[in-house]
Structure 1
Amino acid sequence: MKSITKNEIKVFPPLTEDIVTKDNWFTSKKNLQRYCHSGELSPGRIIWRGNQKPTQLSYAKDQLNLEKINNKNGESVLADLERTDTDAFLVMHKGKVLYENYFNGYKSYQLHAMNSATKSFVGLIVSLLADEGLLDKNKKSSFYIPELDGTGLGDGTVQQLLDMQVPVRYLEADPPLGIGRRTPIFMATGSIPKPDNYDGPENLYEFILSSKKDKIPGTAFYYESGQTEALGWIIKRLTGKNLAELIQEIIWSKLGAEENALMQLDLIGTDIASGGMRATLRDLARFGEMMLNDGYYNGQQIIPEHIIREIKKGGNRKYLAESNHSHLSGFSYHNQWWVSHDQFGGYSARGKFDQRIYIAPKADTVIVKLSSYLSPSSIETSAFQAIIEYLEKK
């Protein structure tokens, strides 16, 4: 029998300062890490991995030494990962894992918050529905959700929602933790406490319906979560299924994932399409490898190749350059994916606190980073580029 070791909690019941709640998860690096590592603060819906055996990841004999690879600032990639509060990091090149490591007490089998990287899964589901003729991306969202008629989000087409080109505004709120200032989505999802005298939306549907038109749809890039939530509503209206169920049927159960994933819910049980998914590092690497292989993985075509090709084309770079995401120089946003237009043909799913699934087709590389970075820099890190350039030289 394996010997029993002491738990990380030194006192039971735990001390008040050791308990992470909706009132304090965003107040310190330690609490944020616990929030990212655990989905216990909110209700969730399981995304089942299916009953098949996990696909085996192949590990290269010679693993990368990230202490010896420097970014453009002369900092080692390992130091970069530690400085940016990385919880887990994996590099796959030519189908083999060259590096896999875990930090800050995070375990390989734990689900990690993906936050806005969830949006990229929504983009795939919407594209599949369009591919099957269930929706027309050129129709307004209010065509599918009549309740949206007269709202800011109802004015945009499905494609404009996919590309974050429906500029809207919401009731301004000043939440106690500071996160989500100027938009009530975090209160609507029940993720944080409501400020005093709050009179805003109490769930995601109310949040979507509260949107007001700011600019003409299709004339600017405006990244915000309501557009993805509107897509989530359209998905459910057309299929009668929850987003988690569709991700399970179409993607997760076909990957040969090791673990179930999870979708967090708002207070009335609605899937948080804009940022509710949680998964493990290895399973996200499997997903990234599927995207790298143009939708083919585990012996089957999971996503049609032309849907992946369309993502890689990217969107309107001028609009993004004129937005508050102008620090992502050269980027565009298309079908809920960030497209970097770099020399590696890179595109990525990205989420708050520095979650990233980066796919570099021209370098045959997938890099996954899961983090609890409270204050990410507005400057794009060069760690990923340093790794790929190192591999290219070899």
Structure 2
Amino acid sequence: MSVLTKPLKISRLFSLMTALFATATIAATEPTPLDRFINGFPMQLEKETRNADYNELFSGGDASTYFNMRVSEFLPTAILPSRQGVMALAKAPMPAIGKVKADMMSVSKLKGPLSLDQFLEQASFAQGFLVVHQGKIVYEKYPRIRQEDHHLWMSCAKPMASLVIDQLISEGKIDQHKPITTYLPDFKGTSWDGVTTRDVMDMATGMDIEDTTESRFDPNNIARRVYESEFGFENKTRGVENLRDVLRSTPKKDEPGLAFNYASGLTQMLVILAEEVEQDRWAQIFDRRVWSKVGAEGALQLHLTPDGIAAVHGLVSSNLRDFARFGMLYTPSWQKIATEQVVSKEILDRIHSEVRSHEFIMAGFDGPVFADRVGTDDFIANSRQWDLVWPDGDLMKFGLMGQGLYVSPTRDLVIVYFNVNNEDLSAHRFVRPIATSGLFDKQQPKVNPQ
């Protein structure tokens, strides 16, 4: 376990954490070209990052880069080693992938449309981009990072939590249609009564816990209190709170199922649910059920709150290839990187068959935001901690500052990438053009919303 050599001041630690999940555009100072950091960081930058404020850590500048790649220096960390030895990925380069073009976002300083090759060359914030098809690496570039370097997944980690819950559902240990309070006795008698596990999985609870720019900075709001409690920060009116107590106190805002309301606190509800059902810490649960089956190239890092709760809503790190290996668990090529199938057909069918309506996701704040990120609104909705599901069955998960995880089970395709930018998220614009380019085509089945 890695811990702080010199603990951050608690005010700075909270600023760091709240910024981590913010969606607001932050004006960035001109950063150092990232290729200068490929072989390491100067000592002075480490010192500056340890004392960085909100803007400096998450503006996409130098401190952001350091934190993304060295988070284990700042937070306690559970290390999950590869227990199977490396199950190497074969290579079958497809240069045509680099020629696929996409329009840039309106906020981008880059002039588009650009090909993927052009984007990775010109986008100073782009660090790595990897495409795996049928278990083989068909495109891989590291313009501003080393292949073996660790990097935060940010919110792309959220499906890790839903995968464990789906396994427990398949085993009959959880009934997703029962109130989540069935499994959390100390939550009975609270506003969580009537909220099902499926509602939590789909971020459709109607609870007043949504992450917004305003809620993260309102000391009376549950979203802020969740983050404060995770980092031991003293609330202005309530003092230091326990995370579980804060979640228990969440008030009801609307009836469940009306709209998609994104909230990292809901992912942590799934972590608590898994720990309660399994009577074990989440890091060990995930290792036993998932990661111990994977022939990874490096260790998976799960970054923890001070009292040992895995912050699965965003604080997970690995190298890019192992990030792709997680995505491959949802494809027919899982057997090329794992000794056991951990994403069953039943789980994958559940993600697809229980997807909600397009109106449901667009009724929430983040639906239109997600449409702008990918440059299209032809998706159906979110499902089970995945941000987007398309009619052809493809899945998408976004992460703060431009991390991305795209999985096409029917095409046997995975796309992952690392970036450091909190404003220009144009990297997301390439996933659908690549997947639908015809390079990986065969007849795609339709997915129907429930």
Query: What is the rounded CA distance, in whole Å, between the counterparts of 2:238 and 2:130 in structure 1?
Result: 43
Change (3 A) 1:331 1:393: closer
Aligned to 2:367: 326
Q: AA paired with 1:288?
A: G
Change (3 A) 1:59 1:134: same
Query: What is the rounded CA distance, in whole Å, between the counterparts of 1:166 and 1:339 in structure 2?
Result: 18
- TM-score with structure 1 length normalisation? 0.84
Q: Please tell me whether residue 336 in structure 1 is matched to residue 385 in structure 2.
A: yes
Q: Which segments of 5 or more consecutive residues in structure 1 lack a partner in the other structure?
A: 1-5
Q: AA paired with 1:291?
A: Y
- TM-score with structure 2 length normalisation? 0.75
Q: Please tell me whether residue 135 in structure 1 is matched to residue 184 in structure 2.
A: no
Match 2:85 to one of 49, 53, 73: 53
Which secondary structure does the structure 1 equivalent of 2:410 belong to?
A: helix
Query: Does the 8 Å contact 1:208/1:229 carry over to 2?
Result: no
Match 1:86 to one of 126, 138, 161: 126
Query: What is the rounded CA distance, in whole Å, between the counterparts of 1:42 and 1:141 in structure 2?
Result: 30
Query: What is the rounded CA distance, in whole Å, between the counterparts of 2:391 and 2:365 in structure 1?
Result: 20
Shift of 1:160: 0.7
Which secondary structure does the structure 1 equivalent of 2:164 belong to?
A: helix
Shift of 1:334: 1.6
Q: AA paired with 1:53?
A: G
Change (3 A) 1:69 1:272: same
Match 1:183 to one of 185, 202, 224: 224
Change (3 A) 1:22 1:64: farther
Q: AA paired with 1:31?
A: A
Aligned to 1:385: 432
Query: What is the rounded CA distance, in whole Å, between the counterparts of 1:155 and 1:226 in structure 2?
Result: 18
Aligned to 2:14: none
Query: What is the rounded CA distance, in whole Å, between the counterparts of 1:84 and 1:140 in structure 2?
Result: 47
Shift of 1:355: 1.9
Aligned to 1:3: none
Q: Please tell me whether residue 217 in structure 1 is matched to residue 264 in structure 2.
A: no
- Aligned pair count reads 380
Change (3 A) 1:194 1:110: farther
Cα deviations by residue, 1:160-215 (Å, 9 ceiling, x for unpaired): 11111112225976659x9x996333333329x778x3646645323312311111
Q: AA paired with 1:305?
A: K
Query: Does the 8 Å contact 2:102/2:430 carry over to 1?
Result: yes
Query: Does the 8 Å contact 1:54/1:256 carry over to 2?
Result: yes
Structure 1 window deviating more from structure 2 (139-148 vs 293-302): it is 293-302
Query: Does the 8 Å contact 1:175/1:181 carry over to 2?
Result: no
Change (3 A) 1:13 1:26: closer
| Alignment of structure 1 residues 256-271 onto 2, 5 Å | 256-271=295-310
Query: What is the rounded CA distance, in whole Å, between the counterparts of 1:271 and 1:156 in structure 2?
Result: 23
Query: Does the 8 Å contact 1:331/1:338 carry over to 2?
Result: no
Change (3 A) 1:274 1:281: same
Change (3 A) 1:349 1:170: closer
Query: Does the 8 Å contact 1:164/1:221 carry over to 2?
Result: yes
Q: AA paired with 2:267?
A: T
Shift of 1:388: 2.9
Alignment RMSD: 3.3
- Which structure features the higher share of helix residues? 2
Q: AA paired with 1:304?
A: S
Query: Does the 8 Å contact 1:32/1:374 carry over to 2?
Result: no
Query: What is the rounded CA distance, in whole Å, between the counterparts of 1:325 and 1:14 in structure 2?
Result: 34
Q: AA paired with 2:90?
A: S
Q: Please tell me whether residue 31 in structure 1 is matched to residue 44 in structure 2.
A: no
Shift of 1:230: 1.1
Shift of 1:252: 1.1
Match 2:402 to one of 345, 348, 354: 354
Structure 1 window deviating more from structure 2 (71-80 vs 134-143): it is 71-80
Aligned to 1:307: 347
Change (3 A) 1:97 1:48: same
Change (3 A) 1:152 1:89: farther
Query: Does the 8 Å contact 1:188/1:266 carry over to 2?
Result: no
Q: Please tell me whether residue 286 in structure 1 is matched to residue 317 in structure 2.
A: no
Change (3 A) 1:266 1:368: same
Cα deviations by residue, 1:111-151 (Å, 9 ceiling, x for unpaired): 21112222101111001111111111111111211222344
